């Protein structure tokens, strides 16, 4: 089970930290990704982190503003979002994919095994 939280309303330029808490799976066997879906748009890839936390990947539009990290002891992945823009407004979802240690999943949402419910981020201008 995946539980995303931390969304809310923030002004442009502000920050939020999303959390994805997991249960019922061996957390260290999984890479974890964040995706987002804005109203009327397709769900899109945001960021992903591998099992150890040593490798990450971001979509171009969030590079330098968002940081994905994980705490394996807490079975939780975080998405620190800084310098938020109105275009970041969306429901944010976390998802997991079982991988070998060094592999980093790609941006295709069909590659992921399990999904959490979304947490809504609204950025006002």
**For position 103, what pLDDT does the model report?**
84
Pairing of strands 8-11, 119-124: parallel
**For position 108, what pLDDT does the model report?**
93
**For position 92, what pLDDT does the model report?**
98
Contacts of residues 43-47 at CB distance under 8 Å and 24 or more positions apart, as own/partner, are 43/93, 43/109, 44/107, 45/107, 45/108, 45/109, 46/79, 46/92, 47/79
Burial class (CB in 10 A: 0-12, 13-18, 19+), 81: buried
45 CB-side CA count, 13 A: 20
In the chain, the percentage of residues whose pLDDT exceeds 90 is 94
Pairing of strands 76-81, 16-22: antiparallel
Low-confidence ranges of the chain (pLDDT < 50): none
């Amino acid at each position: 089970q995946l539980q995303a939280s931390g969304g809310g309303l923030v002004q442009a330029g502000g920050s939020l930290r999303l959390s994805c808490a997991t249960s019922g799976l061996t957390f260290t066997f999984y890479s974890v990704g964040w995706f987002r879906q804005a109203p009327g748009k397709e769900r899109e890839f945001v960021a992903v982190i591998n099992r150890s936390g040593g490798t990450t990947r971001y979509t171009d539009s969030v590079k330098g503003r968002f940081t994905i990290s994980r705490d394996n002891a807490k079975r939780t992945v975080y998405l620190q979002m800084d310098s938020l823009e109105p275009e970041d407004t969306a429901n944010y979802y976390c998802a997991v994919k079982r991988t070998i240690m060094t592999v980093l999943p790609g941006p295709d949402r069909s590659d992921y095994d399990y999904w959490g419910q979304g947490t809504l981020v609204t950025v006002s201008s």
